[in-house]
C-alpha cells in the first residue's frame, strides 16, 4: 500500500509530485473541461517511476499495473453511459499506477462521493434549492432522468476530474483513514 505520509523522503517527494499532477489535471478540467493526453501520460509514467523508486521490484510494477487497470475498469462503464469523459477515465487509470489496488477502490468511492456533492452544489447554484429538490425527487422516481440532470446544469458539464483528483489524493495520503 502506498502511504505518502509514512514512506520517508521518497514517499514525501513522490506524494507532493502526485498532488501537483492531480491539481494540474483538476485545474485544467475546470478551465477547459478536458484533461490533456500529455498530462495523463506524464502521470502514468511518473507513477511507474515512483513505484520503481519506492519499491524496486517486478512485483511492485505488477501491482501498479493492476491498480491502473482496476482504475480504468471502475470508470469505463460510466464513460460508456456518457456520464464521464474519456479524460476522466484516463486520469483515474494513470493516477491509479501510483497506488495499490485497494487504494484505487477507496479513491473511486471517495471520488464518487465528492462528485455527488459537486453535482448537487452545481444544481443548487444553477437551479436554486427548490427546483433542485424537485428534480432530484423526480429523478429518484425515474432514475433514467436523474443522470441527465445531475452533473449537467444548463448545458454545463461537471468537471469530474476535480472529484477524481480529491479521491486519488485522499487515498494516497490518508489510506489508514479509509480503512486501508
Q: What is the secondary structure of 30-43 as a DSSP string?
A: HHHS---HHHHHHH
Percent of the chain whose pLDDT exceeds 70: 81
138 within some domain = yes
**pLDDT band at residue 153 under the 50/70/90 scheme:** very low
Q: How far apart are CA 132 and CA 144, in angstroms?
A: 16
What is the model's pTM? 0.84
179 within some domain = no
Please answer whether residues 10 and 51 qualify as being in contact, where contact means their C-beta atoms are separated by less than 8 angstroms: no
pLDDT at 120 (0 to 100) = 81
**pLDDT band at residue 119 under the 50/70/90 scheme:** confident
DSSP-assigned letter for residue 100? -
49 within some domain = yes
Checking if the pLDDT of 179 tops 90, the result is no
Q: How far apart are CA 91 and CA 85, in angstroms?
A: 10
178 within some domain = no
Q: How far apart are CA 105 and CA 52, in angstroms?
A: 22
43 within some domain = yes
Q: Which domain holds residue 130?
A: 4-173
180 within some domain = no
What mean pLDDT do residues 65-92 have? 95
Which of 26-35, 131-140, 161-170 is the least confident region?
131-140
Percentages (nearest 5) of helix, strand, coil residues in the chain: 80, 0, 20
Give me the DSSP letters along 109-148.
HHHHHHHHHHHHHHHHHHH-HHHHHHHHHHHHHSHHHHHH
pLDDT at 128 (0 to 100) = 72
The domain total for the chain is 1
34 within some domain = yes
Checking if the pLDDT of 144 tops 80, the result is no
Task: Tell me the three cell numbers of residue 1.
Answer: 500500500
Checking if the pLDDT of 145 tops 70, the result is no
pLDDT at 124 (0 to 100) = 76
What mean pLDDT do residues 105-128 have? 86
Straight-line distance from the first to the last Cα atom of the chain, in angstroms, rounded to the nearest whole number:
8
83 within some domain = yes
Amino acid at each position: 500500500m502506498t502511504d505518502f505520509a509514512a514512506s520517508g523522503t521518497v514517499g514525501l517527494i513522490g506524494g507532493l509530485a502526485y498532488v501537483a499532477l492531480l491539481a494540474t489535471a483538476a485545474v485544467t478540467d475546470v478551465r477547459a473541461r478536458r484533461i490533456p493526453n500529455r498530462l495523463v501520460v506524464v502521470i502514468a509514467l511518473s507513477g511507474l517511476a515512483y513505484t520503481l523508486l519506492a519499491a524496486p521490484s517486478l512485483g511492485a510494477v505488477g501491482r501498479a499495473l493492476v491498480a491502473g487497470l482496476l482504475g480504468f475498469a471502475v470508470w469505463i462503464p460510466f464513460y460508456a453511459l456518457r456520464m464521464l469523459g474519456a479524460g476522466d477515465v484516463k486520469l483515474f487509470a494513470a493516477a491509479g499506477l501510483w497506488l495499490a489496488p485497494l487504494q484505487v477502490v477507496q479513491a473511486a468511492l471517495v471520488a464518487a462521493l465528492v462528485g455527488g456533492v459537486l453535482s448537487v452544489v452545481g444544481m443548487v447554484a444553477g437551479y436554486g434549492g427548490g427546483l433542485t429538490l424537485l428534480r432530484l425527487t423526480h429523478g429518484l422516481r425515474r432514475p433514467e432522468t436523474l443522470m441527465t440532470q445531475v452533473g449537467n446544469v444548463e448545458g454545463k458539464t461537471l468537471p469530474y476530474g476535480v472529484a477524481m483528483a480529491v479521491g486519488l489524493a485522499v487515498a494516497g495520503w490518508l489510506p489508514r483513514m479509509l480503512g486501508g
